[in-house]
Amino acid sequence: MERIYYESSLGKKVMYALKNKNYSIIQVLKEDNRSKVLLIEIEKKLYVYKVPIEKNSRKWQQFISLFRGGESQREFKNLKKIAEIGLKAPLPVLYWEKRILGMVVDSYLVSTYIEGNPGKKEDVEKIGKFLEEIHSKGFLHGDSQLPNFMVQGNEEIYLIDAKLQKNIYGPFGRVYEFIYLEESYHDELNIYDKTTIYYKIAKLFNGYLHWYGSFRKKIKKIFKRKDK
């Protein structure tokens, strides 16, 4: 079973253009075993076409899509939520899903295109303030790395690849997101308080996650050698 979902006349127009192949691929923004992201043009307007390849094909992801929908559907809802709470991000246009036995086995998302550049070191102060704005609304970014913020001009910051979620962790959640931002910055940040107990706990937890990730990789390597 296949399904295309949209909520506006723009979504309907884009849906017909895709069905009738009335679009042009302007640029391949990303293509690897995790995802494929294309910049496409329809009637002289640019859109982002994203296929979450890895999550579409993983058996566990397919199974849990029975209960919470596929990756493209969730991202559509996430972009809609970001707009509803007054933050800047690409607007969702439509998503398509293919289901077998109720499970999503393939999908894609189309969103509007935001012209700008991924966050860099020189933008970190502005991005930090924008992250504080997200936190002030009671939410977490969910993946607060520098490249997941789009900088337009000198001031405008947009969310891209955000996994927006309610902050149920309080100060710990806020501090952890700054630590995550700091890691993608590869330098010390002085835009948040590092003297609190929340920082110390978050730092310990982050260290544990790194250790656990490294441990898992070593175990996998050992089993691969045994299989050979």
Q: Angle 22-24-27 (CA atoms, 0-180°, nearest 5)?
A: 155
Reported confidence tier of residue 35, pLDDT bands at 50, 70, 90: very high
pLDDT in tens, 89-126: 999 999 999 999 999 999 999 999 998 888 888 888 88
Task: Give the residue-averaged pLDDT of 25-48.
Answer: 95
Mean pLDDT of the chain: 91
C-alpha pair distances (Å), 28 with each of 32, 36, 38, 39, 48: 11, 8, 5, 6, 10
Do residues 34 and 130 touch, judged by C-beta distance below 8 A? no
pLDDT in tens, 2-34: 999 999 999 999 999 999 999 999 999 999 999
Task: Give the residue-averaged pLDDT of 162-166.
Answer: 89
Q: Angle 41-130-180 (CA atoms, 0-180°, nearest 5)?
A: 95
Residue at token pair 């991000």: 89
Do residues 116 and 150 touch, judged by C-beta distance below 8 A? yes
For position 171, what pLDDT does the model report?
92
| Residue 228 confidence (pLDDT) above 60 | no
For position 102, what pLDDT does the model report?
93
| Residue 149 confidence (pLDDT) above 60 | yes
| Residue 212 confidence (pLDDT) above 60 | yes
